[in-house]
């Protein structure tokens, strides 16, 4: 069975870091909608120009644009044997559309990473990102102007990691994305993990959650088809 995983959790929960690590171990693509948008901004495409204004304010890019981007990306050959989605879905409309995109594929596993808000603010206001390859560099890996450990590019603060925008992103998360926990939590393939631990511990808990959710799925537990779309049996 393919590992078709989505990672839920607030900005700064560590989704990107954990998704990157697990995707590398499993040999499947990590699909980060934030990275796709930042690349479009970097390449100055039409979508990128429009997205930049929205992202710089910490708001959400429109559902239709995001669903189009993810639909196209999941249709590519490298995503047929599994994928890890980071940053999508972020609204109930996106989650509903994703259920449609999953028809004919192995069911989704959903992992929610839980981190208290004061810890998120601390992490986001201190993290750096590589301006060349997009690698996330937490505090300790260098100050702005230092070099990326992966590609040697310059580490900078993300435009939307300033404190004002971080607070806005957390507000938007609470209003639009947190409701996804209710959308998914009754599915047998839903798991929560504690993200307020070391990256290695979170990675171990993530693997355990994926194994547990995957074995429910393999056993063909009843209920999954019944709750697709958030409708309870």
Active site residues: 15, 90, 127, 158, 169
DSSP secondary-structure letter at 62? P
Residue 37 interacts with ligand ADP (CB under 6 A): yes or no: yes
What's the CA gap between 14 and 114, in Å, rounded?
Answer: 10
CA distances from residue 16 to 49, 84, 216 in whole angstroms, order as listed: 23, 10, 25
Nearer to ligand ADP, 155 or 216 (CB): 155
Structural tokens at position 127: 């993290």
Looking at 14, 58, 82, 195, which residue binds ligand ADP (CB under 6 A)?
Answer: 58
What's the CA gap between 147 and 159, in Å, rounded?
Answer: 18
Residue 55 interacts with ligand ADP (CB under 6 A): yes or no: yes
Nearer to ligand ADP, 160 or 216 (CB): 160
Looking at 48, 50, 54, 224, which residue binds ligand ADP (CB under 6 A)?
Answer: 54
Q: Which of 63, 65, 1, 73 is nearest to 30 (CA)?
A: 73
CB of 55 to ligand ADP, least distance (A): 4
Residue 88 interacts with ligand ADP (CB under 6 A): yes or no: yes
32 forms beta bridges with 86
Looking at 3, 5, 28, 66, which residue binds ligand ADP (CB under 6 A)?
Answer: 66
What's the CA gap between 114 and 174, in Å, rounded?
Answer: 13
Size of interface with ligand ADP, in residues (CB under 6 A): 17
Residue nearest to ligand ADP (CB): 34
Residue 188 interacts with ligand ADP (CB under 6 A): yes or no: no
Residue 134 interacts with ligand ADP (CB under 6 A): yes or no: no
Site for ligand ADP in 194-233 (CB under 6 A): none
4 forms beta bridges with 83
What's the CA gap between 43 and 47, in Å, rounded?
Answer: 10
Nearer to ligand ADP, 15 or 26 (CB): 15
Nearer to ligand ADP, 116 or 222 (CB): 116
- 216 sits in which H/E element: helix 199-218
The strand pair at 190-194 and 109-114 is best described as: parallel
CB of 24 to ligand ADP, least distance (A): 18
Site for ligand ADP in 148-187 (CB under 6 A): 160, 169
CA distances from residue 93 to 27, 60, 65, 179, 230 in whole angstroms, order as listed: 29, 13, 12, 11, 12
Q: Which residues bind ligand ADP (CB under 6 A)?
A: 11, 33-34, 37, 54-55, 58-61, 66, 87-88, 90, 94, 160, 169
């Amino acid at each position: 069975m393919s590992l078709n995983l989505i990672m839920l959790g607030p900005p700064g929960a560590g989704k990107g870091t954990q998704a990157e690590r697990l995707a590398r171990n499993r040999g499947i693509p990590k699909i980060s909608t934030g990275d796709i948008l930042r690349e479009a901004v970097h390449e100055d495409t039409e979508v990128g120009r429009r997205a930049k204004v929205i992202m710089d304010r910490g708001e959400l890019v429109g559902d239709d644009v995001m669903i189009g981007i993810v639909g196209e990306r999941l249709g590519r050959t490298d995503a047929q044997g599994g994928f890890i989605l980071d940053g999508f879905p972020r609204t109930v409309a996106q989650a509903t559309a994703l259920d449609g995109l999953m028809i004919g594929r192995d069911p989704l596993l959903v992992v929610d990473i839980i981190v208290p808000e004061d810890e998120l603010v601390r992490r986001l206001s201190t993290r750096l990102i590589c301006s060349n390859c997009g690698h996330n560099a937490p505090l300790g890996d260098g100050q702005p102007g230092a070099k990326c450990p992966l590609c040697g590019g310059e580490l900078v603060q993300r435009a939307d990691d300033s404190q004002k925008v971080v607070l806005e992103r957390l507000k938007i998360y609470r209003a639009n994305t947190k409701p996804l926990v209710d959308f998914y939590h009754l599915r047998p393939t839903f798991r929560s993990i504690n993200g307020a631990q070391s990256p290695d511990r979170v990675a171990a808990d993530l693997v355990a959650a994926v194994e547990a959710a995957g074995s429910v799925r393999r056993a063909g537990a009843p209920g999954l088809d019944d709750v697709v779309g958030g409708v309870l049996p």
